[in-house]
Structure 1
């Protein structure tokens, strides 16, 4: 990878939508039913989407994470995606109102290492592009230090495409890069996230561990 790869914001870069949220306890069951029986399939069926993935954390303040990979950032400006985003179902609208402290980020993807889907991920909040570059440069040392790592990638938010959902406090909004580390176990994800955080001298709360709930590929719907 070159230095410019981390800060690449080309519309031709692969895209990844990140939705990281909490939900009101009384709506949590409905929220999960909505995601698992409507929303995942709806998004994965949009032309240009490659897959949808859902995760849950027992420790993060926002326990639910959803990731959606697209062929490019262009997909998020397509008429089909705009129609889906601007014309949500009634069930979607109800659950958006139940979500709390939600981060919605449309990201350019820098694929650093590996292939495949892990049983868990570490999500590391990198703070700024400089830390993202340092994290990229340290990936070989990370792989030597931690076993069980399958893939590593960096997500860099696109400011124009990362429109906030209603539950995000825009006065505290930070469009920071993320490192996503797919691993074979939750333990490996925790160790990997802690390693990167320590390397970059990030606060303890900068890394979070999530277990994969399920993975839906667009090809599964055909």
Structure 2
């Protein structure tokens, strides 16, 4: 996989109701900033499900996939705080994927986001071309911000402590970002109609907050 592509760490999880308040506090007060400070990371964003999927989603964009093999990233795992270890252990059926960002159409960040899981049959190059074409069609819709395909890297997508490895599939993910819930619903419906059996399940998320590494005080 092309290590010069932008990278994306995709982490989706559920969490028990009794642990949810502390889990959110940890994510907001420690984890997002901690990851945004890692060399090579561009941004860290949190989302909450409004329909389907895991309850919480974290997206961490990097300058390239090389950020996930850097000494700085490895060091981040070597100095996990007790708070981090506790909350990583609270994740229920988490999903961790380290992906190349391909087939990008548009720019910016939307406040609403849909994630469609692609079926495994499509060849990667053909799928990227198809998703780029789909993105150009979606771009004509009001409220469209950006769409892109996340292609997991097999070697880098190591599972989280409580992630099941039985039947684990590293499937490509189509992400659609829009500026409103209505625009997201419309774009998702169009994408599903165009993809047909090419997509499996879909989930919709609202942005909680986003931090760019350049905003951090060093």
In the superposition, the TM-score normalised over structure 1's length comes to 0.89
Contact 1:56 1:210 in 2 (8 A): yes
1:48-105: per-residue Cα shift (whole Å, max 9, x none)?
A: 1110000001322411010001111111001110111243211111111111111100
Deviates more, 1:115-124 or 1:54-63: 54-63
Aligned match for 1:199, one of 171, 188, 194: 194
Separation in structure 2 between the aligned mates of residue 202 and residue 92 of structure 1, nearest angstrom: 39
Contact 2:112–2:178 (Cα < 8 Å) also in 1: yes
* Aligned-partner Cα distance in 2 for 1:66–1:206: 18
SS at match of 2:185: helix
How do 1:139-150 and structure 2 match up within 5 A? 139-144=135-140, 146-150=141-145
Aligned to 2:214: 219
Change (3 A) 1:168 1:198: farther
Structure 1 residues 204 and 95, CA gap change in structure 2 (3 angstroms): same
Q: Aligned residues, how many? A: 213
Match of 1:60 in 2: 52
In 2, are the aligned partners of 1:132 and 1:178 still within 8 Å (CA)? no
Q: Which residue of 1 aligns with 2:166?
A: 171
Which of the numbers 173, 190, 212 marks the counterpart of 2:185?
190
Shift of 1:203: 8.6
Using a 3 Å threshold, how does the CA distance of structure 1 residues 89 and 182 change in structure 2: closer, same or farther? same
> 2: CA distance between counterparts of 1:204 and 1:12?
27
> Among residues 20, 26, 32, which one is paired with 1:34 in the alignment?
26
Structure 2, gaps ≥5 residues long: none
Q: Does 1:79 align with 2:105?
A: no
Q: Is the 8 A contact 2:105 2:139 kept in 1?
A: no
Partner Cα separation in structure 2 for residue 203 and residue 107 of structure 1:
19
The two structures, once aligned, show a CA RMSD in angstroms of 1.7
Alignment partners' CA distance in 1, 2:54 and 2:200: 12
Pair 1:22-2:22 in alignment: no
Matched, 1:12 2:7: no
Q: What is the distance in 2 between the residues matched to 1:205 and 1:78?
A: 33
- 1:173-200 per-residue CA deviation (whole Å, 9 max, x = no partner) reads 1101111111001222222223222222
SS of match in other structure, 2:84 = helix
Say whether the 8 Å CA contact 1:22–1:101 is kept in structure 2: yes
Is contact 2:128-2:149 (8 Å) kept?
A: yes
